Amino acid sequence: MLLLLLPATQALTQSLNTGNGIISFRSDAPLELITASSNEIRGKLDTSKKIFAFSVKIKSFNGFNSPLQKEHFNENYMESNKYPDATFSGKIIEDIDFSKNGTFTLRAKGNLIVHGVPQERIIKSTITISNGKVQIKSNFTVQLSDHNIPIPKVVHEKLASEISVEVTADMK
Amino acid sequence: MQLNKKILVAVGLLFATVIVSAQDPDDILKQLEKEISGDEKDRTDYTTATFKTTRLVNGHTVENVGKGVLDVKISHRFGNINDGGYELFGLDKATMRMGMDYGITRYLMVGFGRSTFEKTYDAFAKLKILRQSSGKRKMPVTVSYVPTVALKTIKDPDSDKTNYFTSRLFFSHQLIIGRKFSEGTSLQIMPTFVHQNLVDLEKEPNDLFAIGIGGRQKLTKRVSLNFEYYYQLPNYKLTNRTNSLSIGFDIETGGHVFQLHFTNSPGMNERTFIFDTKGEWGKGDILFGFNISRVFTIGKNKRN
């Protein structure tokens, strides 16, 4: 009886967690292209209240053009010991029925915290619902200056001031 | 009666879920962070960037170059500052070492170099034995082992003497125990042993021992102040040699580290700078020097 109750209570909270997810970023500067990605993205989505939170460990990003670049990314730009995670949490603006299958474009309004600096953002996402499972895909950009990440003069041509980010997350 | 109990349990569970379920974005974020920090205990977080580069001033740090990375290093030491204005405070003279380091794995790097000082070739390996970490697997220090072999090729002024190839060889073994205490402060201890096959005088020892201590303090994100001191054990040192003391700066310029320093050692391999330094800081026998490095990523490896 208790075992039967367990899934029932889960359905009541209507909270989904990330299964597989990948987040990647791309800095396209005149002299250098830098890409890195992490599959250590974690998220929660409350389908009844339409609220969500996502988080990724900065240190879990791999890729880059050299090991030294990764070290500098963590040590000098993101300061990942001080600010270990980047997060985005907020609310879905549009009404959406998570019990219906289909693909929808939604806007999420929330707080994007990168390098410890919060920015209120509205981010467009494509959500695909199939039998209670939700896949979220999103592309957005992050201005380094918005998050207090200065670009030293010597790397101006090697580091873009605007970084494009791509996220895919399966929620269940 | 039995049914009532079940209903009670059901209501209780329901109530519990209502309490833990998030009310607004801040709550759901907190809940997520709580879950993540719960999982964190099962992860091991390895310390990175204990030092900016693989050398402190003359000697090694606990750092390795990454896998597939070739690091070309050119190091200069000028003459003594107390040589005066005629020698432009030592800048007219220079000794140098050209070398290359390569990372075979994340734990093993090899390198070789050639110093103008006594026309010496050197080759070394650096093996990371332990890595400082926190989380599931806790390790307070990083430990590296650096064996070096050096070949002195300068011609012996005494041409009558029979010179064996082996008498030009020097072997050194160094253990480096380092710890990053905070984001800006790192320290290391370096017990070092050198064996020389041939000594100048019979009373001189063939085996030399020294204990080194070094560290860095970051001044800004891209500049750090380094020091390095080697104490030679009294019965295992050559006569009329002084202990090596160096103070320098690491300046990171967009991916490359430029090192500027003051030292009393003109040599740049373990045998020459630790055990063959004659200058004294107190007398002003100080040399200005720099190391420049250019890093090339050769092996393409996706798990950087």
- Domain CATH for A102: 2.40.128.110
User: What type of residue sits at position A5?
Assistant: L
Separation CA A37–CA A22 (nearest Å): 7
Please list every residue in chain B whose beta carbon sits closer than 8 Å to the beta carbon of residue A158. 254
Residue A10, domain member (yes or no): no
In a domain, A7, yes or no: no
Parallel/antiparallel/unpaired status of strands A85-92 and A102-114:
antiparallel
Domain that holds residue A51: 16-171
Residue B79 has pLDDT above 50, yes or no: yes
CA atoms within 13 A on the CB side of B169: 8
Which of chain A's residues have a Cβ under 8 Å away from the Cβ of B303? 62
Return the number of other C-beta atoms located less than 10 Å from residue B130's C-beta. Answer: 14
Tell me whether residue A84 is in a domain.
yes
Q: At B162, list the tokens.
A: 């029979």
**What does the alpha-carbon distance between residue B159 and residue A163 come to, in Å, rounded to a whole number?**
67
Nearest by CB to residue A64, choosing from B10, B17, B304, is B304
Say which of B24, B28, B255 has its CB closest to residue A44: B28
3-state DSSP assignment of residue B257: strand
Of B117, B236, B289, B103, nearest in space to A71 by CA: B103
**A23 residue type, one letter:** I
Mean of pLDDT values over B197-223: 90
Between B191 and B1, the more confident residue is B191
What is the phi/psi pair of residue B48, to 5°? -120, 165
Within a domain: A23: yes
Residue A80: both structure tokens together: 């990942």
Dist CA B296 CA B304 (whole Å): 14
For the residues A87-111, what does the mean pLDDT come to? 91
Dump pLDDT digits (tens) for B238-286.
Answer: 989 999 999 999 998 766 789 999 999 999 989 999 999 999 999 989 9
| φ, ψ dihedrals at A148, nearest 5° | 60, 40
CA-to-CA distance for B11 and B5, rounded, in angstroms?
Answer: 10
In a domain, A115, yes or no: yes
Residue A8 lies in a domain: no
Joined together, the tokens standing for residue B11 give 């209501």
In a domain? residue A1 = no
Q: At residue A160, does pLDDT exceed 50?
A: yes
Judged on CB neighbours under 10 Å (0-12, 13-18, 19+), B164 is: exposed
Q: Which of B9, B28, B48 sits opposite A51 (nearest CB)?
A: B28
Which is more confident, B16 or B197? B197
**Res B204: pLDDT:** 87
Q: B256 - beta bridge partners?
A: B253
Predicted ipTM of the assembly: 0.74
B139-174 pLDDT, tens digit per residue, is 999 999 999 999 999 887 777 777 788 888 999 999
- Pick B96 or B3 by higher pLDDT: B96
pLDDT computed for residue B19 by the predictor: 47
Alpha-carbon torsion angle B180, B184, B185, B189, nearest 10: 60
Closest CA to B194 of B178, B212, B170, B216: B170
Q: Among A68, A77, A79, A149, which would you mutate to test the B interface (most chain B Cβ atoms within 10 Å of its Cβ)?
A: A68
A22 domain residue, yes or no: yes
Q: Do B28 and A53 touch (CB under 8 A)?
A: yes
CA distances to A47, A81, A121 from A13, in Å: 8, 34, 26
For tokens 């996706």, name the residue. B302
B274-288 residue pLDDT tens: 999 999 999 989 999
Is A21 in CB contact (< 8 Å) with chain B?
no
Q: Cα separation of A123 and A136, whole Å?
A: 12
Domain count, chain A: 1
